Structure 1
Amino acid sequence: MGIKETIEADCRKSEVWKMMILDNFTMKLLSLCCRMSDLISGGITIVKDLFKIRKPVPDLKAIYFMIPTAKCVDVLIVDFKIKPKYKAAYVYFAEACPDSVFNKMKLSCAKPIRVCKEIGVSVLSQESHVKFRLKDGRGKEAQLDENDELWVNLRHLRIAGVSK
Protein backbone atom coordinates (compact mmCIF):
# COMPACT_ATOMS: atom_id res chain seq x y z
CA MET A 1 0.00 0.00 0.00
CA GLY A 2 1.38 3.45 -0.94
CA ILE A 3 1.58 6.66 1.06
CA LYS A 4 -1.73 8.03 -0.19
CA GLU A 5 -3.59 4.73 0.22
CA THR A 6 -2.24 4.11 3.73
CA ILE A 7 -3.24 7.54 5.00
CA GLU A 8 -6.61 7.49 3.23
CA ALA A 9 -7.45 4.02 4.60
CA ASP A 10 -6.84 5.13 8.18
CA CYS A 11 -8.67 8.42 7.75
CA ARG A 12 -11.75 7.10 5.97
CA LYS A 13 -12.68 5.33 9.20
CA SER A 14 -13.76 8.75 10.43
CA GLU A 15 -16.35 11.10 8.97
CA VAL A 16 -14.54 14.15 10.38
CA TRP A 17 -12.61 16.43 8.01
CA LYS A 18 -8.89 16.52 8.70
CA MET A 19 -5.87 18.73 8.17
CA MET A 20 -2.44 17.50 7.08
CA ILE A 21 0.76 18.80 8.62
CA LEU A 22 4.02 18.18 6.74
CA ASP A 23 7.70 18.98 7.18
CA ASN A 24 9.72 20.27 4.20
CA PHE A 25 10.87 16.82 3.12
CA THR A 26 7.44 15.16 3.23
CA MET A 27 5.80 18.19 1.60
CA LYS A 28 7.97 17.64 -1.47
CA LEU A 29 7.65 13.88 -1.26
CA LEU A 30 3.85 14.00 -1.09
CA SER A 31 3.67 16.47 -3.97
CA LEU A 32 5.35 13.84 -6.17
CA CYS A 33 2.64 11.24 -5.58
CA CYS A 34 -0.56 13.15 -4.72
CA ARG A 35 -2.64 16.01 -6.03
CA MET A 36 -4.70 18.28 -3.80
CA SER A 37 -7.84 16.66 -5.24
CA ASP A 38 -6.57 13.28 -3.98
CA LEU A 39 -6.21 14.71 -0.49
CA ILE A 40 -9.63 16.34 -0.57
CA SER A 41 -11.24 13.06 -1.64
CA GLY A 42 -9.59 11.52 1.43
CA GLY A 43 -11.21 14.10 3.70
CA ILE A 44 -8.22 16.43 4.05
CA THR A 45 -9.21 20.08 3.77
CA ILE A 46 -6.06 21.94 4.83
CA VAL A 47 -2.33 21.29 4.34
CA LYS A 48 0.05 23.14 6.68
CA ASP A 49 3.78 23.39 7.28
CA LEU A 50 4.88 21.71 10.53
CA PHE A 51 7.33 24.49 11.37
CA LYS A 52 5.09 27.48 10.68
CA ILE A 53 2.81 29.00 13.27
CA ARG A 54 -0.56 27.25 13.05
CA LYS A 55 -3.78 28.30 14.71
CA PRO A 56 -5.59 25.72 16.84
CA VAL A 57 -8.49 23.99 15.11
CA PRO A 58 -9.85 21.76 17.89
CA ASP A 59 -12.68 20.39 15.72
CA LEU A 60 -10.26 18.84 13.18
CA LYS A 61 -8.08 15.78 13.42
CA ALA A 62 -4.48 16.36 12.33
CA ILE A 63 -2.45 14.05 10.12
CA TYR A 64 1.27 14.51 10.71
CA PHE A 65 3.44 13.14 7.89
CA MET A 66 7.08 13.79 8.73
CA ILE A 67 10.56 12.42 8.99
CA PRO A 68 11.20 10.90 12.42
CA THR A 69 13.52 13.46 13.96
CA ALA A 70 13.55 14.91 17.46
CA LYS A 71 12.88 18.35 15.92
CA CYS A 72 9.68 17.18 14.18
CA VAL A 73 8.43 15.22 17.19
CA ASP A 74 9.09 18.21 19.46
CA VAL A 75 6.65 20.26 17.37
CA LEU A 76 4.04 17.49 17.63
CA ILE A 77 4.51 17.38 21.41
CA VAL A 78 4.06 21.16 21.71
CA ASP A 79 0.86 20.94 19.63
CA PHE A 80 -0.71 18.65 22.26
CA LYS A 81 1.18 19.48 25.48
CA ILE A 82 -0.94 22.04 27.35
CA LYS A 83 -4.06 22.74 25.32
CA PRO A 84 -4.39 20.47 22.27
CA LYS A 85 -4.51 22.32 18.95
CA TYR A 86 -6.41 19.47 17.28
CA LYS A 87 -8.98 16.82 18.10
CA ALA A 88 -6.51 13.94 17.59
CA ALA A 89 -3.25 13.08 15.84
CA TYR A 90 -2.57 10.54 13.12
CA VAL A 91 1.23 10.26 12.90
CA TYR A 92 3.02 8.86 9.85
CA PHE A 93 6.79 8.72 9.57
CA ALA A 94 8.43 8.61 6.14
CA GLU A 95 11.05 6.14 7.40
CA ALA A 96 11.89 4.01 10.43
CA CYS A 97 11.57 5.94 13.67
CA PRO A 98 14.50 5.68 16.08
CA ASP A 99 13.52 4.25 19.48
CA SER A 100 14.64 7.40 21.30
CA VAL A 101 12.34 9.61 19.18
CA PHE A 102 9.41 7.19 19.47
CA ASN A 103 9.81 6.89 23.26
CA LYS A 104 9.94 10.67 23.63
CA MET A 105 6.70 10.98 21.68
CA LYS A 106 5.07 8.12 23.59
CA LEU A 107 5.94 9.60 26.99
CA SER A 108 4.90 13.14 26.11
CA CYS A 109 1.72 12.87 24.04
CA ALA A 110 0.48 9.30 23.58
CA LYS A 111 -3.14 10.04 24.51
CA PRO A 112 -4.17 12.14 21.46
CA ILE A 113 -2.37 9.85 18.96
CA ARG A 114 -4.86 7.56 17.22
CA VAL A 115 -2.44 6.12 14.64
CA CYS A 116 1.35 5.96 14.53
CA LYS A 117 2.91 4.26 11.50
CA GLU A 118 6.16 4.11 9.63
CA ILE A 119 5.51 4.26 5.89
CA GLY A 120 8.24 2.41 4.01
CA VAL A 121 9.33 4.89 1.37
CA SER A 122 12.65 3.83 -0.10
CA VAL A 123 14.62 6.35 -2.07
CA LEU A 124 16.94 5.48 -4.91
CA SER A 125 18.98 8.36 -6.27
CA GLN A 126 21.49 8.85 -9.03
CA GLU A 127 22.95 12.30 -9.40
CA SER A 128 20.04 14.75 -9.29
CA HIS A 129 17.57 12.33 -10.88
CA VAL A 130 15.53 10.82 -8.06
CA LYS A 131 13.21 7.82 -8.19
CA PHE A 132 10.79 7.15 -5.37
CA ARG A 133 9.75 3.52 -5.12
CA LEU A 134 6.67 3.12 -2.95
CA LYS A 135 5.79 -0.04 -1.03
CA ASP A 136 3.23 -1.07 -3.63
CA GLY A 137 5.87 -0.97 -6.37
CA ARG A 138 4.69 2.21 -8.08
CA GLY A 139 7.40 4.72 -8.81
CA LYS A 140 7.58 8.46 -9.20
CA GLU A 141 10.48 10.44 -10.65
CA ALA A 142 11.71 13.98 -10.16
CA GLN A 143 14.56 16.12 -11.40
CA LEU A 144 15.97 18.13 -8.49
CA ASP A 145 18.42 21.01 -8.38
CA GLU A 146 21.68 20.00 -6.68
CA ASN A 147 21.16 22.63 -3.96
CA ASP A 148 17.51 21.72 -3.34
CA GLU A 149 16.88 20.83 0.31
CA LEU A 150 15.07 17.62 -0.65
CA TRP A 151 18.01 16.54 -2.81
CA VAL A 152 20.46 17.24 0.03
CA ASN A 153 18.28 15.24 2.47
CA LEU A 154 17.98 12.35 -0.01
CA ARG A 155 21.76 12.20 -0.41
CA HIS A 156 22.17 12.05 3.37
CA LEU A 157 19.56 9.29 3.62
CA ARG A 158 21.26 7.37 0.83
CA ILE A 159 24.71 7.73 2.43
CA ALA A 160 23.30 6.63 5.81
CA GLY A 161 21.64 3.61 4.17
CA VAL A 162 24.80 2.54 2.36
CA SER A 163 26.97 2.91 5.47
CA LYS A 164 24.77 0.56 7.55
Structure 2
Amino acid sequence: MQLRPRHRAHRLRAATAALTAALALTALGAVPAAASTTKPVTCTAATTKVTVQKVQRPLNHLLLTATNTGSKPCYAYNAPVLRFDDDQAATAVLYDSVPQAVVTLEPGESAYAAIGTESPEGSHGHQAHRLGVLFSNRAMDGSVGGWARPKLPAGGVYVDSSAFVTYWQSNPADALMW
Protein backbone atom coordinates (compact mmCIF):
# COMPACT_ATOMS: atom_id res chain seq x y z
CA MET A 1 0.00 0.00 0.00
CA GLN A 2 1.40 3.36 -1.00
CA LEU A 3 0.71 6.56 0.85
CA ARG A 4 -0.34 9.66 -0.95
CA PRO A 5 2.23 12.48 -0.92
CA ARG A 6 0.08 14.44 1.51
CA HIS A 7 0.06 11.52 4.05
CA ARG A 8 3.84 11.00 3.70
CA ALA A 9 4.43 14.67 4.43
CA HIS A 10 2.14 14.51 7.48
CA ARG A 11 3.97 11.44 8.89
CA LEU A 12 7.34 13.06 8.24
CA ARG A 13 6.28 16.23 10.09
CA ALA A 14 4.96 14.14 13.03
CA ALA A 15 8.19 12.12 13.26
CA THR A 16 10.30 15.29 13.07
CA ALA A 17 8.23 16.93 15.82
CA ALA A 18 8.58 13.86 18.07
CA LEU A 19 12.34 13.74 17.54
CA THR A 20 12.69 17.48 18.21
CA ALA A 21 10.67 17.17 21.44
CA ALA A 22 12.75 14.21 22.64
CA LEU A 23 16.00 16.07 21.97
CA ALA A 24 14.71 19.15 23.79
CA LEU A 25 13.69 17.09 26.84
CA THR A 26 17.11 15.39 26.90
CA ALA A 27 18.85 18.77 26.78
CA LEU A 28 16.72 19.98 29.70
CA GLY A 29 17.57 16.89 31.74
CA ALA A 30 14.00 15.56 31.72
CA VAL A 31 15.08 12.40 29.93
CA PRO A 32 18.20 10.62 31.20
CA ALA A 33 21.22 10.96 28.96
CA ALA A 34 22.86 7.85 27.60
CA ALA A 35 25.05 5.88 30.02
CA SER A 36 28.73 6.64 30.24
CA THR A 37 30.72 5.44 27.27
CA THR A 38 33.81 4.89 29.42
CA LYS A 39 34.71 1.20 29.39
CA PRO A 40 34.51 -0.27 32.93
CA VAL A 41 37.59 -1.76 34.57
CA THR A 42 37.83 -4.42 37.27
CA CYS A 43 37.50 -3.02 40.80
CA THR A 44 40.70 -3.24 42.85
CA ALA A 45 41.94 -1.94 46.19
CA ALA A 46 43.62 0.90 44.27
CA THR A 47 40.31 2.16 42.83
CA THR A 48 38.00 1.57 45.79
CA LYS A 49 37.72 2.38 49.46
CA VAL A 50 36.91 -0.76 51.43
CA THR A 51 35.29 -0.55 54.88
CA VAL A 52 33.80 -3.09 57.28
CA GLN A 53 31.23 -2.55 60.00
CA LYS A 54 29.42 -4.65 62.56
CA VAL A 55 25.65 -4.85 62.04
CA GLN A 56 22.84 -5.45 64.56
CA ARG A 57 21.07 -8.05 62.40
CA PRO A 58 21.71 -10.72 61.47
CA LEU A 59 23.78 -11.73 64.47
CA ASN A 60 27.46 -12.53 63.97
CA HIS A 61 27.65 -10.62 60.68
CA LEU A 62 29.76 -7.81 59.30
CA LEU A 63 29.00 -5.65 56.26
CA LEU A 64 31.83 -5.13 53.81
CA THR A 65 31.48 -2.05 51.59
CA ALA A 66 33.58 -1.20 48.52
CA THR A 67 33.11 2.33 47.15
CA ASN A 68 34.48 3.22 43.71
CA THR A 69 36.93 6.11 44.22
CA GLY A 70 38.25 5.96 40.65
CA SER A 71 37.23 8.00 37.63
CA LYS A 72 35.90 5.02 35.62
CA PRO A 73 33.09 2.56 36.29
CA CYS A 74 34.35 -0.74 37.71
CA TYR A 75 33.06 -4.29 37.94
CA ALA A 76 32.93 -5.96 41.38
CA TYR A 77 33.22 -9.52 40.13
CA ASN A 78 32.07 -12.53 42.13
CA ALA A 79 32.90 -12.48 45.86
CA PRO A 80 35.76 -10.79 47.66
CA VAL A 81 38.66 -12.95 48.82
CA LEU A 82 39.00 -12.55 52.60
CA ARG A 83 41.73 -13.49 55.04
CA PHE A 84 41.49 -12.83 58.76
CA ASP A 85 44.81 -12.27 60.56
CA ASP A 86 46.72 -13.46 57.49
CA ASP A 87 45.40 -17.03 57.86
CA GLN A 88 46.56 -19.41 55.15
CA ALA A 89 43.03 -20.33 54.03
CA ALA A 90 40.67 -17.82 52.47
CA THR A 91 37.19 -17.44 53.98
CA ALA A 92 34.59 -19.68 52.31
CA VAL A 93 32.31 -18.14 49.68
CA LEU A 94 28.55 -18.59 50.00
CA TYR A 95 27.75 -19.68 46.45
CA ASP A 96 23.97 -19.43 46.99
CA SER A 97 24.37 -15.64 47.12
CA VAL A 98 25.24 -15.21 43.42
CA PRO A 99 23.46 -12.08 42.11
CA GLN A 100 21.72 -12.04 38.74
CA ALA A 101 24.34 -9.76 37.23
CA VAL A 102 27.83 -8.50 37.91
CA VAL A 103 27.74 -5.42 40.16
CA THR A 104 28.90 -2.36 38.21
CA LEU A 105 30.00 0.65 40.23
CA GLU A 106 29.95 4.10 38.74
CA PRO A 107 32.38 6.50 40.47
CA GLY A 108 31.08 7.10 44.00
CA GLU A 109 28.80 4.04 44.07
CA SER A 110 29.23 1.08 46.43
CA ALA A 111 29.00 -2.72 46.41
CA TYR A 112 28.26 -4.78 49.52
CA ALA A 113 29.13 -8.25 50.80
CA ALA A 114 28.09 -9.88 54.07
CA ILE A 115 30.60 -11.70 56.23
CA GLY A 116 29.25 -14.38 58.54
CA THR A 117 31.79 -14.68 61.35
CA GLU A 118 30.62 -17.62 63.47
CA SER A 119 27.85 -20.14 64.09
CA PRO A 120 27.05 -22.93 66.59
CA GLU A 121 28.38 -25.43 64.02
CA GLY A 122 31.76 -23.69 63.82
CA SER A 123 34.95 -24.72 65.56
CA HIS A 124 38.55 -23.56 65.97
CA GLY A 125 37.54 -19.96 66.65
CA HIS A 126 39.82 -17.05 67.45
CA GLN A 127 39.67 -13.31 67.94
CA ALA A 128 40.72 -11.72 64.62
CA HIS A 129 42.28 -8.25 64.62
CA ARG A 130 43.13 -7.78 60.93
CA LEU A 131 41.26 -8.32 57.66
CA GLY A 132 42.71 -8.54 54.17
CA VAL A 133 40.43 -8.15 51.14
CA LEU A 134 41.27 -8.95 47.52
CA PHE A 135 39.00 -8.41 44.52
CA SER A 136 38.23 -11.45 42.40
CA ASN A 137 38.93 -11.56 38.69
CA ARG A 138 36.15 -12.25 36.22
CA ALA A 139 36.84 -15.99 36.01
CA MET A 140 36.97 -16.30 39.82
CA ASP A 141 40.19 -18.28 39.56
CA GLY A 142 42.38 -15.54 40.99
CA SER A 143 42.47 -11.98 42.22
CA VAL A 144 43.42 -8.57 40.85
CA GLY A 145 45.42 -5.83 42.50
CA GLY A 146 46.77 -5.71 46.01
CA TRP A 147 45.22 -6.16 49.42
CA ALA A 148 42.74 -3.73 50.93
CA ARG A 149 43.10 -3.60 54.72
CA PRO A 150 39.88 -2.25 56.25
CA LYS A 151 39.85 -1.82 60.02
CA LEU A 152 37.83 -4.33 62.01
CA PRO A 153 35.64 -3.11 64.90
CA ALA A 154 37.56 -2.18 68.05
CA GLY A 155 38.74 -5.24 69.96
CA GLY A 156 38.54 -7.46 66.87
CA VAL A 157 35.96 -9.99 65.77
CA TYR A 158 35.49 -13.62 66.80
CA VAL A 159 35.79 -15.85 63.71
CA ASP A 160 35.44 -19.63 63.51
CA SER A 161 35.52 -22.36 60.85
CA SER A 162 31.96 -21.57 59.72
CA ALA A 163 32.88 -18.05 58.54
CA PHE A 164 31.71 -17.12 55.02
CA VAL A 165 31.47 -14.19 52.64
CA THR A 166 28.72 -13.49 50.09
CA TYR A 167 29.09 -12.37 46.51
CA TRP A 168 29.12 -8.61 45.94
CA GLN A 169 25.62 -7.16 45.91
CA SER A 170 24.31 -3.78 44.75
CA ASN A 171 22.61 -2.98 48.08
CA PRO A 172 23.28 -3.87 51.72
CA ALA A 173 19.90 -5.55 52.30
CA ASP A 174 20.62 -8.14 49.59
CA ALA A 175 24.03 -8.84 51.11
CA LEU A 176 22.70 -9.21 54.66
CA MET A 177 19.84 -11.55 53.79
CA TRP A 178 22.34 -14.44 53.99
> Which of the pair is proportionally richer in strand?
2
The TM-score with structure 2 as length reference comes to: 0.22
TM-score by length of 1: 0.23
Could you say which structure has the greater relative contact order, defined with CA pairs below 8 angstroms and 6 or more residues apart?
A: 2
Q: Based on CA coordinates, which of the two structures has the bigger radius of gyration?
A: 2
